[in-house]
Amino acid sequence: MIDPRIEKMAKVLTRYSLELKKGDLFRIDGSYLTEPLIKAVFKEALLLGANPYTMVTIEGLQEIFYKNASEEQLKFVSPIDWLTCEKLDAQLTLWGDWNTKYLTNVDAKRVAMYFGARKDLFNRRLERISRHELRWCGTLFPTQANAQDAEMSLSEFEDFVFTAGFLDRPDPIAEWQNLSRQQATLIEELSKKRQFRIKASDTDLTFEVQGRKWINCDGHLNFPDGEIFTSPIEESVEGSIRYTYPAVYQGKEVEDVRLQFEAGRVIKASAAKGEDFLKAMLDTDAGARYVGEFSFGNNYGIQRFIKHTLFDEKIGGTIHIALGASLPEAGGKNKSAIHWDMVCDLRKGSEVYADGELIYRDGKFLI
Amino acid sequence: MTDPRIIKMAKVIVEYSLTLREKELFRIEGSYLAIPLMKEVYRAALAVGAHPYTKVAIPELTEIFYRYASDEQILFLSDIEKREAELLQARLFIYSDSNIKSLANIDSKKIARWRESQRQILSLLLTRKAQGELKSCLTLFPTQSFAQEAEMSLSEYEEFVFSACFLNSPDPIAEWQKLSAEQARLVSFLNKIHQIKVIGPSTDLTFSVAGRRWINSDGRANFPSGEIFTCPVEDSVFGFIHFSYPAIYLGREVQGITLQFQDGKVIRATAEKGQDLLDALLNLDAGARTLGEFAFGNNKNIQRFTKMILFDEKIGGTIHCALGAAYPETGGKNQSSFHWDMICDMHQGQVYADGKLIYENGKFLI
């Protein structure tokens, strides 16, 4: 018998997160491991009158691609990918890996070349998402590999994932609607502020957000969710930050990242582990050294770092700052083929000031 | 470790069957059960400089689709799929079912309606293939479902499939080229022949093939293959034929069929088992009682009947006739909404061409 939480999740994703409607062209992307959720979502989508189809990924195929493709093949962007980007009304990405480290030994320059060639496609997709022409949601289906990264058994990890999505509650959709209202109240206050300063151990960072919008992440684009973010004014970021958690991107882990900003640009970057990868990613393109996002994690049901951004960036009491592409709905203008979220714990010895006023201390809002 | 025969199979499909070239947009289609082969084909396609991508089906979704889709959803045709049909330069379809009976309880009218709605895409693919713009190949990856149907274990069935593909040979491509050359010789002989007569147990059938072309099926459009086929002149078929193997239509079996022809039409049809289905299919449409194909199975590595037409019609030492639609490349004109292959063992039979004995006991004498 199927875990009833999977059926609940499929209902929340199709009805609340994606708001699927009759006639929507809807693609479900995921590996074969996510098959139980793919099936449940496919059925719910049919019942809502959408036209669902699947894009099932194959374990190991990306590795074959990066290791064997010629430069021409790495840079090839299929016209079908462009058409898909223009035509889709809704898209669900199901993360859930066999092995979260399988690209560790792939040449980072080749990965960057692939993403560099797809920059326009990536930006166009973000644009359609921000204009609500494409309703996209990214979520995770619990697998052994993700459980292992989280240092849990699969059944513990399932509980972690489903609890973070409020799927253990009788009416998950109502819970998400509640969180959405709470965050809307916070945003009202933050929207009055112009300048922010983050103070923590080895961290003193300032930036301005004048004219930018704060966005309420309430389970639509990501599931689970619980964060509020904006895009700082690109050139206004000054100072330095030391990330308490490893930065994970494309299956690679970079530990103890320290960044120094001047006029918005990363001028110095170091890491205790994975510094080569960090530097290769920073050299992807001109926008890769600028901040695309600043955010407060606000899901206090998530308290553990599990090496998966979807959850880690929402840990209640953390912030994250992403390098690369901004999400245009916040008013950010930075363009890049990468968007790399790096999470910093603020639950101990940390303060956030807004226009000089202390608004946040040790992981909690004071407003 | 990947079964080395799968690596060989991928290489033959990419380099021989599809002769894939640099920059060709190439789609690999199959179910998740075929992933080991899909990966190796993907790797081989990258090696020749093509642009491969995969379309992995979850067969269980088909059942969910038919159970829950409304009429509107069944009739929906995706713009993306249409565009793919216009752009693809090569395509591999891998049979890889998880349960070949999974749709047995679905309303067949629903399935027919969906097929009808997708016809635009199918005919575009066929047209582009006929014009040489699209290369395509149909193959099979051994699964438990097919093994069960063939009454074998999976490892026995794998051996059966890979052997039929000549993958136990050190150089399978050379084997396929050799078979192709042999069949080319047979085809050039048969293309000069006007009349064919088939003799065997309860069989005495004659027909004209004047003006028709014989086609060399040498492992390109189908893999494996090993078959030469044509289409009899429609109204020229006379006599009777008994099919030693069961004829299978959409998973249902009809056993011990004997057909009697006059002026090209089936005038009498009997079956030891499945008479109702046989009668129903013969009355399906105007072309259903006329032959659309006559062929020699010529793959010596296929020696048993496995209830999968991709293999059965190629059994070395058999012939097969199909009722219904003809393949236009043979010059055949019969039209029908179905094409039903029926196979006859020839180990006790003879074939005469313009009165000369050319085939006896399952072997060509020419």
Which residues, including other chains, have CB under 8 Å from residue B1's CB and lie 6 or more apart?
none
Rg (CA), chain B: 21
The C-alpha atoms of residue A345 and residue A365 are separated, in whole angstroms, by 14
Cis status, amide bond into A224, omega within 30 of 0? yes
DSSP string, B1-39: ---HHHHHHHHIIIIIIS---TT-EEEEEEEGGGHHHHH
Question: How many C-beta atoms lie closer than 10 Å to residue B246's C-beta?
Answer: 20
Q: What is the Cα A268 distance to its own chain's centre?
A: 24
* Residue A251 confidence (pLDDT) above 80: no
DSSP helix/strand/coil, A141? coil
Q: Taking the CA of residue A252 as centre, how many other CA atoms within 13 Å lie in the half-sphere pointing to its CB? A: 20
Residues of chain B with C-beta less than 8 angstroms from the C-beta of A25: 78, 80
The mean of the pLDDT values for chain B is: 95
Give the pLDDT confidence score for residue B1 in this predicted structure.
Answer: 79
- What is the structure's pLDDT at B251? 77
**pLDDT for A56-68, tens place per residue?**
999 889 999 999 9
Which pLDDT band, with edges at 50, 70 and 90, does A327 fall under?
confident
The confidence score (pLDDT) of residue A102 equals 86
Mean pLDDT of B279-285: 91
**Whose structure tokens read 């492992």?**
B219
> How much is the average pLDDT of A24-44?
97
Scanning every residue of chain A, which has its alpha carbon at the shortest distance from the alpha carbon of B39?
A61
For testing contact with chain B, the best of A20, A22, A32 (most B CBs within 10 A): A32
Contact B79 A87 (CB under 8 A): yes
Residues B270, B278: Cα–Cα separation, whole Å: 8
Q: Which of A25, A39, A58 sits opposite B64 (nearest CB)?
A: A39
Section A98-117 average pLDDT: 90
* Cα–Cα distance for residue pair A245/B18, rounded to 1 Å: 49
Is the CB of residue A44 less than 8 Å from the CB of residue A10? yes
pLDDT per residue over A117-151, tens digit each? Answer: 999 999 999 899 988 999 999 999 999 999 999 99
Q: Running DSSP on this structure, what letter comes out for residue A12?
A: I
**Residue A277 pLDDT more than 80?**
yes
Residue of A nearest to B86 (CA): A80
- Look at residues B13, B85, B87, B1 and name the one whose alpha carbon lies nearest to residue B43: B13
Average pLDDT of the segment spanning B213-239: 97
The pLDDT tens digits of the residues spanning B322-360 come to: 999 999 899 999 998 889 999 999 999 999 999 999 999
Residue B179 pLDDT class (50, 70, 90 cuts): very high
Chain A: closest CA distance from residue B68 (Å) = 6
Q: How confident is the model at residue B320 (pLDDT cuts 50, 70, 90)?
A: very high
Does residue A308 register a pLDDT over 80?
A: yes
Cβ–Cβ contact B357 with A under 8 A? no
Q: What is the mean pLDDT of residues B234-244?
A: 97
Taking CB atoms and an 8 Å limit, are A60 and B39 in contact across chains?
yes
User: How far apart are the CA of A132 and the nearest CA of chain B, in angstroms?
Assistant: 20
Q: Percent of chain A beyond pLDDT 70?
A: 100
Contact B42 A64 (CB under 8 A): yes
pLDDT at position A269 over 90: yes
- pLDDT average, residue stretch B305-313: 96
Beta carbons of A350 and A198 less than 8 angstroms apart: yes
Question: Looking at per-residue confidence, does B116 or A219 come out higher?
Answer: A219
Beta bridge partners of B203: B200
Residue B319: its pLDDT value, please?
97
Please answer whether residues A173 and A180 qualify as being in contact, where contact means their C-beta atoms are separated by less than 8 angstroms. Answer: no
Contact A68 B46 (CB under 8 A): yes
pLDDT of residue B119: 85
**pTM, full prediction:** 0.86
In 3D, which of A209, A198, A208 has the Cα closest to residue A240?
A: A198
| B236 band by pLDDT with thresholds 50, 70 and 90 | very high
CB–CB of A42 and B61 under 8 A? yes
Longest CA pairwise span in chain B (Å): 59
ipTM for the predicted complex = 0.84
Quick one: CA torsion of B293, B295, B301, B307, rounded to 10 degrees? 30
Read off the pLDDT band of B2 (50, 70, 90). confident
CA-nearest of B245, B248, B219, B229 to B309 is B248
pLDDT digits (tens, 9 = 90+) for B134-160: 999 999 999 999 999 999 999 999 999
Q: Which residues 109-138 in chain B show a CB within 8 A of chain A? A: none
The structure tokens listed for A325 are 């592409």
Contact check, Cβ <8 Å, A51/B38: no
The pLDDT tens digits of the residues spanning A160-194 come to: 999 999 999 999 999 999 999 999 999 999 999 99
B25, two tokens:
């947009």
Pairwise CA distance, residues A338 & A74, whole Å: 16
Confidence of residue A301 (pLDDT cuts 50, 70, 90): confident
Residues in chain B: 366
Characterise B335 by phi-psi region: left (phi > 0), alpha (psi -120 to 50), beta (else): beta
Instruction: Read off the pLDDT of residues B213-223 as tens digits, 9 standing for 90 and up.
Output: 999 999 999 99
Residue B84: pLDDT band (50, 70, 90) is very high
Rounded distance between C-alpha atoms, residue A7 and residue B295, angstroms: 51
Residue A108: band (very low, low, confident or very high) from pLDDT cuts 50, 70, 90: confident
CA B49 – CA B42 distance, rounded (Å): 11
Q: How confident is the model at residue B230 (pLDDT cuts 50, 70, 90)?
A: very high
Structure tokens at B329: 């490349």
Neighbouring residues of B346: CB distance < 8 A, sequence distance ≥ 6: B200, B317, B318, B319, B359, B361, B362
pLDDT of residue A250: 76
pLDDT at B90 over 90: yes
Q: What pLDDT does residue A286 have? A: 94
Chain B residues within 8 A of A60 when measuring between CB atoms: 39
User: Rounded to an integer, what is the distance from CA B254 to the centroid of its chain?
Assistant: 18
Closest to B224 in 3D by CA, of B129, B170, B160, B132:
B160
Beta bridge partners of B53: B27
